[in-house]
Amino acid sequence: MTKFAEIAVALPIDKLFQYKIPEELYNDVKIGVRVFVPFGPRTIVGYVVGLNDSAEVANIKEIKNVIDKQPVVNDEMLSLAKWISENYFCSWGEAIGATIPGGIKKGKESIGSRIKIPEVRPEDLIMTDPHVLMEEQKWALDEIVRSIDKNEFRTYLLHGITASGKTEVYLQAIDIVLQKGKQAIMLVPEIALTPQTIERFVSRFGHRVAVIHSHLTPAKRFLEWKKIKDGKADIVVGARSAIFSPMSKLGLIIIDEEHETTYKQDDVPRYNARDVAEERARMNKCPLILGSATPSLESYYKAKHGDYKLIRITKRIEDRLLPKMKIVDMRMDLATRKKITIFSKVLLDAMEKALNAGKQVIIFLNRRGFSTFINCKKCGLVIKCKRCDVTMVYHYEEKRLVCHYCNYHQAPPDICPKCKSGYIKYFGLGTEKVESELSRMFPNIKIARMDSDTTVKKGSHDRILEKFRSGAVNVLVGTQMIAKGLDFPQVTLVGVVSADVTLNIPDFRSSERTFNLLTQVGGRAGRGEDGGEVIVQTYAPDHYSILAAAKHDYDKFYNEEIISRKELLFPPFTNLVKVVVRARNDDLTRQAAQALAEALRAKDRDAMIAGPAPAPMARVRGYYRYNILLKGRDKKAMCALLKKVLSVHRKPHGVLVAVDVDPISM
Ligand code: ADP
Ligand code: ZN
Ligand code: ZN
């Protein structure tokens, strides 16, 4: 008779707890159900992960109540959660919590949605037939079907430029999986979960499609989850958390835009859905397709070394042309016009021409609030850390430049150390300024701006795009929010105000981001009959990420970038683990971070440990934050070192420590 239960709790405690099962609950306590248990002075929710006949401790407490009649997590999800806890530095209970919808965890109402996802009713359904595949699409599908037929785990990297027909390959692969009586999950970045994407799936597969995204209310989310759990959906299309869809006959997982950083969760458990998908595909003996026009360096490296099978689609459907990309050297613009301006003459002329012809224009500036770098407008120099090759960040309070990886400091120069000019300036331009400059210069045109400031209100996102689509607005100014997926045939010109904003964010992935963003943003131009042009302004016109993007040449970019990753020992040659120390007092935080870094170094003299250094957002919601960065080839060994040190290390009262494995930013 099982009388005791092993309980995992959703707290950062790396162990299980044993509780006694009261007689009246003998039949109800099963593996995978949630229970209420006394925990110190509180009552909390726990997950039953094991049952025993005997107790290991005396004075054992009793389970208070059972919440679920049926298990909310099955064996597969329990194993997957276990894997997450071992790889992303969290407890098993915290990881289990991530696999079930938030609505049933707490039952709280969520914040309202910004993007309205239409509900498809049966009478709206117009079914569409599959396309006859082009040659390269067919090769891609044949490869994947081989793994489907063999029930084999294998990861495919599908590298194809935008509009090369990747999604059509996904749809037909899913169709084959369904014919075999199996199911499929397709992850897309949140921002790509547009009504068009969903309609494309629903019009091919009808009501066997479930959709999971963060704008669902908890109740809706729960209904979709239940539909999947009850076997009433065979295809799930969703954002990151959809990787935990409780399907019992999984036969295929697809991750579109696999390079997207939104697949990484920035809260506990800090998993990357791309890696979780790989583990889940392995457990289910099924293929995983990673698709992208600009694969992550990590994935392309694995494909080149045979860990993944690389499939390429090199041609666009109907041989549609890629837009022409022109690079404008802002140093030259300054030299000829003798003043620092937001818009070069080239971009101004092109805008005038497009607007006079009645066309639409997109102006892009990815200005992130905290990345203030110093840039010489004459020669283009940006000051970088000697040790890390990442951009130094200007800190107002101390009036110093700081490296956010290793904490190297230096005074900001008054004249450029390279060309000795006095045109060395802080880069402080944002979309709001761009908008006001534009309306001053073009008083008769209608301008709309889309960034996180203008889309706070529910529905505002849709309203802005609708105005642009209808032609009521001539110029759309925006951040990366407008880089993806938008399809406006009247747009013939895309202007990138400064490629340098992304290039100079203090991050080792800044070149990769720049290449991705330019490629995506460029894809917004010339989608109609009239073709299009992309104009990219920069003070670094010779940078390989900009040159390669202008030539639409991913391999050229990869071949340069991989050399610098290797030299500086960044991923894919190492794994990173970021330790964030935070507290309400600056001195206290810095000292605590220093003490922790020293304790780590004392335990392992060979470990590569950098910092502490102030975080890029050094102060968030009243907390000061310092980062310690561990670099190494063995992720598990680094986690083990951290666990060991953190379990004995005494930190001052009020100091909090968070650990992020494979962080996507500092
Ligand atoms: P990607 O996912 O690579 O951006 P899509 O699959 O969305 O590309 O294809 C781009 C467009 O071409 C879509 O409108 C799609 O319906 C169409 N398309 C895809 N494959 C074919 C094909 N074999 N023949 C004709 N049209 C196709
Ligand atoms: Zn200079
Ligand atoms: Zn440094």
Please give the full DSSP string across 159-170, using - where no structure is assigned.
EE-TTSSHHHHH
Q: How far is CA 326 from CA 111, 166, 438, 562, in A?
A: 42, 27, 21, 25
Mean pLDDT (the chain) is 89
- Higher pLDDT residue, 482 or 175? 175
Which residue CA neighbors atom 5 of ligand 1 most closely?
Answer: 165
Two structure tokens written together for 335: 């030299």
pLDDT score, position 124: 61
pTM of structure: 0.89
What's the 384 CA to ligand 3 centre distance in angstroms? 8
Atom of ligand 1 at shortest distance to CA of 137? 23
Ligand 1 pocket residue status of 186, Cβ below 6 Å? no
pLDDT at residue number 315: 87
Q: Is the CB–ligand 1 distance for residue 595 below 6 Å?
A: no
Q: Among 279, 265, 272, 246, which Cα is nearest to 100's?
A: 246
The alpha carbon of 96 and the centre of ligand 1 are apart by a number of angstroms equal to 38
**Ligand 2 centroid – CA 108 distance (Å):** 55
Distance 375 CA to ligand 2 centre (A): 8
420 lines ligand 1 (CB under 6 A): no
What six digits make up the tokens of 68? 């679920």
Average pLDDT over residues 113-135: 65
pLDDT tens digit string along 21-51?
A: 999 999 999 999 999 999 999 999 999 999 9
Residues 584-598 pLDDT 10s: 999 999 999 999 999
Candidates 168, 169, 257: which one to mutate for ligand 1, based on the most atoms within 8 Å of Cβ?
A: 168
**134 CB less than 6 Å from ligand 1?**
yes
Q: Is the CB of 131 under 6 A from ligand 1?
A: yes
More confident position, 482 or 32: 32
Residue nearest (by alpha carbon) to ligand 1 atom 9? 165
Residue 116 DSSP label = P
The residues, ordered by sequence, that sit 6+ positions from 267 with a Cβ below 8 Å of its Cβ are none
CB of 317 closer than 6 A to ligand 1? Answer: yes
Which ligand is in closest contact with the Cα of 389?
Answer: 3
**520 touches ligand 1 (CB under 6 Å):** no
Q: To the nearest whole percent, how much of the chain has pLDDT over 70?
A: 94
Interaxial angle between packed helices 554-567 and 510-522, expressed in degrees from 0 to 180 and rounded to the nearest 10: 170
pLDDT, tens only, 382-425:
888 887 788 888 876 678 888 878 888 888 898 999 999 988 88
Lowest mean pLDDT among 246-255, 371-380, 494-503, 569-578: 371-380
485 close to ligand 1 (CB < 6 Angstrom)? no
| Pocket probe mutation, ligand 1, options 167, 290, 319, max atoms within 8 Å of Cβ | 167
User: What is the distance in A from the centroid of ligand 3 to the CA of 408?
Assistant: 6
- Average pLDDT (300-305) is 97
For 59, counting Cβ atoms within 10 Å of its Cβ (0-12 exposed, 13-18 middle, 19+ buried), the class is exposed
Q: What is the pLDDT of residues 89-119, one digit of tens each?
A: 999 999 999 999 875 554 333 333 333 444 5
Instruction: Map out the domains of the chain with their CATH numbers.
Output: 3-104 (3.40.1440.60), 135-318 (3.40.50.300), 321-368+430-564 (3.40.50.300), 575-661 (3.30.70.600)
Q: Is 137 in the pocket of ligand 1 (CB under 6 A)?
A: yes
CA of 391 to the centre of ligand 3 (A): 9
**Residue 160 CB less than 6 A away from ligand 1:** yes
Indicate if ligand 1 lies below 6 Å from the C-beta of 455.
no
Question: In angstroms, what is the span from residue 536 Cα to ligand 2's centroid?
Answer: 21
Residues 6+ apart with CB under 8 A from 282: 153
Quote the pLDDT of residue 117.
Answer: 42
226-234 long-range contacts, Cβ below 8 Å, gap at least 24? 232/208, 233/183, 233/208, 233/209, 234/178, 234/182, 234/183, 234/184, 234/205, 234/208, 234/209
Total H helices, total E strands in the chain: 19, 27
Backbone torsions φ then ψ of 163, nearest 5 degrees: 65, 30
Whether the CB of 167 sits within 6 Å of ligand 1: yes
Rounded Cα distance, 450 and 454, in Å: 6
Q: Looking at the CA of 415, name the nearest ligand.
A: 2
Atom of ligand 1 nearest to the CA of 164: 3
The closest ligand to the CA of 196 turns out to be 1
Residue 372's pLDDT band (boundaries 50, 70, 90)? confident
CB of 165 shorter than 6 A to ligand 1: yes
Of the bound ligands, which one is closest to the alpha carbon of residue 376? 2
CA dihedral 580, 584, 588, 591 (to 10 degrees): 20
Ligand 1 in reach of 162 Cβ (< 6 A)? yes
Note the pLDDT tens digit of each residue in 615-666.
876 677 778 999 999 999 988 889 889 989 998 988 899 999 999 999 988 7
Q: Which ligand is nearest to the CA of 375?
A: 2
Ligand 2 geometric centre to CA of 470 (Å): 45
CB of 287 closer than 6 A to ligand 1?
Answer: no
Residue nearest to atom 10 of ligand 1 (CA): 163
> What atom in ligand 1 is closest to the CA of residue 132?
23
Instruction: State whether the beta carbon of 192 lies less than 6 angstroms from ligand 1.
Output: no
Closest Cα partner for 504 from 305, 367, 309? 367
Burial status of residue 126 (CB atoms within 10 A of its CB: 0-12, 13-18, 19 or more)? exposed
Q: Are strands 250-256 and 287-292 parallel, antiparallel or unpaired?
A: parallel
